[in-house]
Structure 1
Amino acid sequence: MKLGWLEAVVLTASVAGAKDLAYSPPYYPSPWSTGAGEWAEAHRRAVEFVSNLTLAEKVNLTTGAGWEQERCVGETGGIPRLGMWGMCMQDSPLGVRDADYNSGFPAGINVAATWDKRLAYQRGMAMGEEHRDKGVDVQLGPVAGPLGKNPDGGRVWEGFSPDPVLTGMMMAETIKGMQDAGVIACAKHYVGYEQEHFRQASEAQGYGYNITQSLSSNIDDKTMHELYLWPFVDSVRAGVGSIMCSYNQINNSYGCSNSYTMNKLLKSELGFQGFVMSDWGAHHSGVGDALAGLDMSMPGDVLLGSPYSYWGTNLTISVLNGTIPEWRVDDMAVRIMAAYYKVGRDRYRTPPNFSSWTRDVYGYEHFIVSEDYTKLNDRVNVQRDHADVIRKIGSDSIVLLKNCGGLPLTHQEPFVGILGEDAGSNPYGANGCTDRGCDNGTLAMGWGSGTANFPYLITPEQAIQNEVLTYSAGKTNVFSVTDNGALDQMADVASQSAVALVFVNADSGEGYIDVDGNEGDRKNMTLWKNGEQVIKTATENCNNTIVIMHTPSAVLIGDWYENPNITAILWAGLPGQESGRSLVDVLYGRVNPGGKTPFTWGKTRKAYGQAILTEPNNGVGAPQDDFTDGVFIDYRRFDKDDEEPIYEFGHGLSYTNFEFSDLEITTLNADKYTATTGKTMKAPVLGKVGQASDYLFPSGIKRVTQYLYPWLNSTNLKKSSGDPDYGMKTEDYVPDGAQNGSPQELLPASGPSGGNSGLFDELIQVRATIKNTGSVIGDEVPQLYVSLGGEDNPVRVLRAFDRVTIAPGQELEWTSTLTRRDLSNWDVSAQDWVVSNAQKKVYIGSSSRKLPLSADLPSVQ
């Protein structure tokens, strides 16, 4: 392990001085936590706890034990003296990954499609309960990166929506649910992680690309604040305990080495009080990343499965030799323990009762090195009644894109045809492909680390057959053809069908898995597995064809959506284990569809703007992804270009009809906005470093092969580090100001919870009336958009929404408010939010382009 090699990457910009490449300016020192607001008690307890720790014990809190060394996908060292075992980090944002007797929840994109903040909270609570009961301390989710700049990006389904407000609100409610259940939520991936191609140089090399550095997402300051940072603000305001920095670079500085994004934006401007952990393999230097704001290294090793760590022993050495100040390691530990106490881990905690590495009951505790045979899996069933919320999210997220009388079905159809592989079972079994890394059978989640094992998977074929046979008293014929190559057989069934239910899909996932040449990101936006031909076959033989799509985001449907023989189109997303049941609830009218598309359905890929970068464009260096679209992604791009979508953002039909009327606007009394001024307190130092002899490997402890420890092997620090450049001057690799623990100037936009508190003052109240003018009860989603009025602003942006249930003939008065943040733009020169003098306008309706109510807004500041 060479400390000199580790520290060579300390500069915040990996190509500092290269005039033609984006640059991330340095920002030091790393802000220390204060316990502001709702963090006060947790912070007090954390300070008390950390004040009693040795340096080695603090280091153990910050450093993972190594890949596959413990039961969880990541686990820190423990503090045996105090009876504290290591903290368990476990995927995923839709359930407990690599476990058993757990639930397979709908993907984040489905939660967004419900537009129901209550369901987001309930899902978060249910997932938190399952992680808690499995012994997990930190659930690695929810996801706001990718946000969705690229509709064909591999992991867009793990998140919520390309709109920052919809994503931010769903992030916040999910986090509250998780943490109310007693686990720490981890908002990820921070920030600008929008594609799988080139996210890690080593992964790209495995695919044959000749690059030496990971992709750089080049984002300007205004776009960062008004788009990509927005949902992380909501996460911080929701009290999130941890945030995961990303694989990619931001303006040519790695996400977990970037002092600007971590120190300035997250910890100083947003006042984040929790801890920043690295993505697995995203840690790039020892001293550098520590000073840039990283608080926890996951899973601890330099390369997964290697015996070396940037931290562990090397972090202990860096404090002993004065390179990293004691207060910085104290702050890492305080942030970790504050999150621990804030969610009540001291009350709820139980040791992990599963292993991520085997389903066998017995196996090796230290799996990667085959040491210490023991019982690993207690097979604790944590599912509870979570199938109920899964089924409801599944049905409430279905978007009825088109309906020309095809739905709802009546149970009177004499012959029901079910066509398409996507209706049926994976012949390998629901969990037959590791991390869901295939597209066999019906699609209920994408692939990668953002998945979980299914306890079962109700397919559409199973659910529809059961529905028909249960309610038709044996008088209805129902037949399936689930081989997408069996077009003749499909034609035969379709020609006999009173209704042909056609199932098609497209898949995507994380970059370490390649499915049919799709290296995480989708190669194109067409349907998979001959889907278009399946639709064509059905429509040529049945004039009542209903198309159901399971996809991670939009697909191109322009060739067939207007076909008059297609009487209905539904998007069902990635609905989890209750897929089939959720669907039949809508098909047969037990649930009136109320989902709204959380993204835009365009006519071409080009209409969405900038394409995914799929070829290196910077020699062997970091591929450069310039975010030239700025804030104009998804519907904002379509509006800017006056591009007509097939189905606009927020669109979704119902079995009833709604009418909007009576818009009222009221100015509220709010204090004048004042930029933050003053200084922080000085950095608190909570212990004494001591001598190297205090941190020698203890006698009496069995040393596990390749396990990452905080202790030294020698009192000679150079020898213990194994670094031939150990004697290099500190100023050669420590940025100016990085060790400065004196009081620091506060930023104008900074505040204790998401930024300057004045940003969240409510300035305007908006009220409207919604009436159900149809004959059945249904849900409507009132959507409030604002035009900010400036020349460089989008035509309009979403700012508020709700989901309401209204009976036939009933009127409901819906009220919402606009905050100063909602009406502001980021002023790059002032480094603060400003309400411009431009005339602003409010719109209310049922989608981004169906907005029957509008009015100018009064001037506010």
Structure 2
Amino acid sequence: MRSIATLLLACAGSALGQNFSLDGNYGSPYPNATYPGFASDNPVAIAGSKSHQTTPPKYPSPWGAGLGEWATAYEKARAFVSQLTLEEKVNLTTGTGWELDRCVGQTGSIPRLGFRAMCLQDSPVGVRYTDYNSVFPAGVNVAATFDRAAAYARGQAMGEEHHGKGVDMQLGPVAGPLGRTPEGGRNWEGFSPDPVLTGVMFAESIQGIQSAGVMTSAKHYIGYEQEHFRLVADSETWGFNIDESGSANLDDETMHELYLWPFADGVRAGAAAVMCSYNQVNNTQACQNSYTMNYLLKGELGFQGFVVSDWIGTRSGVASILAGLDMTMPGDAADYTDGQSFFGANLTVAVLNGTIPAWRLDDMVVRIMAGFYFVERNNTRGPINFSSFTTDTYGYEHSYVGQGWTEVNSHVDVRGEHGRLIRSLGARSTVLLKNVNNTLPLNGKEKLTAVFGNDAGSNLVGPNGCTDRGCDNGTLGAAWGSGSAQFPYLVTPDTAIQNTVLAAGGAYESSLDNGAVDTMGTLARRANASIFFANADSGEWYLEVGGNLGDRNNLTLWQGAEAALEAVAGNCSNTILVLHTTGPVLLEKYKNHPNITAILWAGLPGQESGNSIADVLYGRVNPGAKLPFTIGKDRSDYGTDVLYTPNAPVPQLNFEEGVFIDYRAFDRHNETPTYEFGYGLSYTTFEYSDLSITKMNVSDYVPFSGYTTAATTYGNFSTDPANYLFPANFTRVPMYHYPWLNSTNLTLAAGDPHYALPGFIPAGSQDGTAQPIPKAGGAPGGNPMLYDVLYRVEATITNTGSVTGEEVPQLYISRGGPYDPVKELRGFERLSIQPNSSTTFSVDVTRRDISSWSTVEQDWYVRNTTKKAYVGSSSRNLLLQGLLP
């Protein structure tokens, strides 16, 4: 049995900011990899992104106060927790083990109060591991809509489906990875490398999901920007030898102005939980990092919910709990098969011997139950009606150990009318990048329409034929990993376009094997319109696809598409290129190809993929989406890349570029992109005019000051270990994590006589007295005065074309500091405008929007510089500008 010193106190030195003495070099086995690329010229960013650096310890873990809209939820939570025994409290913090209950994560239950286990379930695009559910467009598509209402509607629909399956928490949405590197494997689960666009879509998604009565787990917190070296076990699988997860090393200013920004929006939107990530942050595990969890999240951002670990992301017991972790998932310790837990019985011991203060456990459970009540969950919920580990009707309740044969799947159809929403979102997230001489829309009556490419057709083994979508066969409707879900169906472009053409009386042929280059060329010579589909996939590191370990090896097209596309475009002067990709791909040669008359980026559109793209191609939907990332001419233009080979036993990822990622880097280094961030065409045209900037009458900023109350304990518990032994005649499920003890001797129960050595306990971590609140804090999302509206920026947008269209005016601001980005997105609005009509674009500019982070004062301030506002149709097409007075 693993000792309590290991289970409870593992890496405690790391939690205290222990330094490592390691060195090595960056390297990549792949061509054109450029790591670390551009370094920021900001001395703060450079100094704060060094290998083996650490952040200061921050204790104690702040206790929830029920701030703002959380007041009622906290009242209910405190009343509920006051009734619980010690072991019942422990049960709510501890996952029961991988494949040992029906959901991918399940807490213990409280039978005495009729409270069934909490069910935590993936994923960001639909209910994972079940049937009769929908597969929605990916987060990156939602970002491309630049439409708040679309993000909310998608979130609400996903929440309804999770609710219908008996799920208590949807493991999403995603703001980490933000998208530091364009090759990042899981960027598509999130929204955009711009923190404002991500923050808005993140917040709307949270509110949409939770409106359906399902908690969110806002993830992955924080600095989780690549798949490589996220876990030791995955690294060993692929032949890498590392000692610990890679460390994201970044400075305080970059943390606040870039990576923490969308999480502040998520906290302000009421996220019930935040999931800590696999990586280390400044050489401390993210799930036991007292600085990021205690100080930034619970202190500065005033987070009222609970922190849950990513699966096998808990790296210790006491060290993690004192650093702010509230729930461990799926409950297992070092891996899924060892039968050990850092929480469970070990947490019971830690409270009995005083290593974990009673108030800290109570705060963990109050936070969990407050999140539950915040979304208006009911204590007497319906049953969990599916099993994650079989789609058969009957199976084992405890799948991993083969016990409890019963009906595990009721096959409840939760899809409702969501297919219509998915089809609309897929079309409204399609970005028109090129349209020479109004090639599009087509009318369906072209004499011969030909469709080409593997990506236009079906996966021959079915859309769910590869585990977690871990292959790239056929059209790409969803990428791979835990963020995927089972398709109820997948409409291919081949099917949808054929249906449209035949209905219009046209002729149609398709050639879907990219290896049949000669055949494609012959067909293309006959076609009046050739539509070529190509993709580029990515996903999570536990699966390998085409030699790509989660992160993409390059920014090129997959499935042998490039040679096939050349054959088609070389033989047809009206070739239309459609892209299903998880992020940027290199398109410069296709932008300039004379025979490629139109290019569309369709992302990962979900189950209605073919119908969505057909709606755009044939003008049933006028495209209005914008690129949520930059498409560069060359991989090196981004200035960041994945670290593909370890540079130390603990890989060191130094974010030396600071805030300069994506369009900020292109602007900073005067690189001209192929297609810029925010770019997208329409079947109509728009004119911008009449910029106005109004200064609002607002009080000056005041740093927050004040103290918390003292920590509170709820209910009483016996300190006699005899009361916590396994109940008499209790039948244990093997590997299952219980709160009870094997012995009344706590040393024997723990398995190690040294579990409570004082040196393992960080100073101040057990202090339950009133604590000062950070100056930048005071409410969920931070100091409320950050959200005061200082300016209102307005402009007139006119549709000068002949058809109704949707335009996304964008507001960018230059803060004017010597190391600030040239400009930063600060507002946007998707507007539907009739032909020859105008509407007003309006954005409220908050204090936060023009503030900078002071690493000295540990607070926000407005730098005394000239600040400019720009309004335009993309980050490079800024048609109007003015000064903020």
TM-score by length of structure 2 reads 0.95
In 2: Cα distance, 1:299 partner to 1:306 partner: 13
1:698 aligns with 2:727: yes
The aligned residue for residue 412 of structure 1 is 445
1:579 aligns with 2:579: no
Residue correspondence of structure 1 range 154-303 to structure 2 within 5 A: 154-302=185-333, 303=335
In 1: Cα distance, 2:211 partner to 2:20 partner: 47
Alignment equivalent of 1:130, drawn from 155, 161, 169 = 161
Alignment equivalent of 2:805, drawn from 770, 774, 778 = 778
After superposition, give the CA deviation of every residue in 1:522-562 in whole Å (9 maximum; x if it has no partner). 01111012111111101111000000000000001122221
Question: Is the deviation greater in 402-411 or in 324-333?
Answer: 402-411
Alignment equivalent of 1:31, drawn from 53, 62, 65 = 62
In 2: Cα distance, 1:13 partner to 1:839 partner: 42
Alignment equivalent of 2:740, drawn from 700, 703, 711 = 711
Question: Displacement, 1:231?
Answer: 0.4
Q: Report the secondary structure of 2:590's partner residue.
A: coil
What letter is aligned with 1:722?
A: G
In 2: Cα distance, 1:101 partner to 1:813 partner: 42
Residue correspondence of structure 1 range 664-675 to structure 2 within 5 A: 664-675=692-703
The aligned residue for residue 10 of structure 1 is 12
The aligned residue for residue 34 of structure 2 is none
Q: Report the secondary structure of 2:676's partner residue.
A: coil
In 2: Cα distance, 1:669 partner to 1:327 partner: 44
Question: Displacement, 1:15?
Answer: 6.7
Alignment equivalent of 1:599, drawn from 626, 629, 633 = 629
Residue correspondence of structure 1 range 299-318 to structure 2 within 5 A: 299-302=330-333, 303-318=335-350
Residue correspondence of structure 1 range 656-671 to structure 2 within 5 A: 656-671=684-699
Q: Report the secondary structure of 1:805's partner residue.
A: strand
Question: Displacement, 1:724?
Answer: 4.6
Structure-2 change in CA distance of 1:583 and 1:348 (3 Å):
farther
Structure-2 change in CA distance of 1:703 and 1:347 (3 Å):
closer
Q: Report the secondary structure of 1:346's partner residue.
A: coil
The aligned residue for residue 610 of structure 1 is 640
Residue correspondence of structure 1 range 157-556 to structure 2 within 5 A: 157-302=188-333, 303-346=335-378, 349-404=381-436, 405-472=438-505, 476-556=506-586
After superposition, give the CA deviation of every residue in 1:752-792 in whole Å (9 maximum; x if it has no partner). 11100110000001111000000000000010000000010
In 2: Cα distance, 1:610 partner to 1:432 partner: 34
The aligned residue for residue 653 of structure 1 is 681
Question: Displacement, 1:413?
Answer: 0.2
Q: Which runs of 5+ in 2 are unaligned?
A: 22-50
In 1: Cα distance, 2:763 partner to 2:99 partner: 38
In 2: Cα distance, 1:700 partner to 1:332 partner: 30
Q: Report the secondary structure of 1:11's partner residue.
A: helix
Q: Which runs of 5+ in 1 are unaligned?
A: none
In 1: Cα distance, 2:365 partner to 2:660 partner: 40
Question: Displacement, 1:347?
Answer: 7.0
In 1: Cα distance, 2:193 partner to 2:482 partner: 21
What letter is aligned with 1:532?
A: E
Q: Report the secondary structure of 1:550's partner residue.
A: strand
Q: Report the secondary structure of 1:364's partner residue.
A: strand
Q: Report the secondary structure of 1:852's partner residue.
A: strand
Kept after mapping to 2: 8 A contact 1:395/1:591? yes
After superposition, give the CA deviation of every residue in 1:294-337 in whole Å (9 maximum; x if it has no partner). 00000001111321100000000000000000000000000000
Kept after mapping to 1: 8 A contact 2:15/2:323? no
In 1: Cα distance, 2:743 partner to 2:245 partner: 36
Q: Report the secondary structure of 1:272's partner residue.
A: coil
In 1: Cα distance, 2:741 partner to 2:840 partner: 67
Structure-2 change in CA distance of 1:348 and 1:380 (3 Å):
farther
What letter is aligned with 1:143?
A: V
Q: Report the secondary structure of 1:345's partner residue.
A: coil
Kept after mapping to 2: 8 A contact 1:13/1:25? no
What letter is aligned with 1:666?
A: T
What letter is aligned with 1:624?
A: Q
After superposition, give the CA deviation of every residue in 1:650-669 in whole Å (9 maximum; x if it has no partner). 00000000001000111111
Q: Report the secondary structure of 1:665's partner residue.
A: strand
Q: Report the secondary structure of 1:510's partner residue.
A: coil
Q: Report the secondary structure of 1:365's partner residue.
A: strand
1:629 aligns with 2:631: no
In 1: Cα distance, 2:735 partner to 2:193 partner: 42
Kept after mapping to 2: 8 A contact 1:326/1:689? no
TM-score by length of structure 1 reads 0.98
What letter is aligned with 1:516?
A: G
Question: Displacement, 1:687?
Answer: 2.6
Kept after mapping to 1: 8 A contact 2:434/2:598? yes
What letter is aligned with 1:760?
A: Y
Tell me how large the CA RMSD over aligned residues is.
Answer: 1.0
In 1: Cα distance, 2:381 partner to 2:527 partner: 55
In 1: Cα distance, 2:602 partner to 2:251 partner: 35
In 2: Cα distance, 1:406 partner to 1:810 partner: 25
Kept after mapping to 2: 8 A contact 1:305/1:368? no
Residue correspondence of structure 1 range 673-692 to structure 2 within 5 A: 673-690=701-718, 691-692=720-721
What letter is aligned with 2:213?
A: G
Question: Displacement, 1:369?
Answer: 0.4
Question: Displacement, 1:701?
Answer: 3.1
Q: Count residues with an aligned counterpart.
A: 851
In 1: Cα distance, 2:432 partner to 2:131 partner: 34
Kept after mapping to 2: 8 A contact 1:12/1:25? no
Question: Displacement, 1:721?
Answer: 1.4
Structure-2 change in CA distance of 1:162 and 1:348 (3 Å):
farther
Q: Report the secondary structure of 2:285's partner residue.
A: coil
What letter is aligned with 1:210?
A: N
The aligned residue for residue 38 of structure 2 is none
Kept after mapping to 1: 8 A contact 2:115/2:380? no
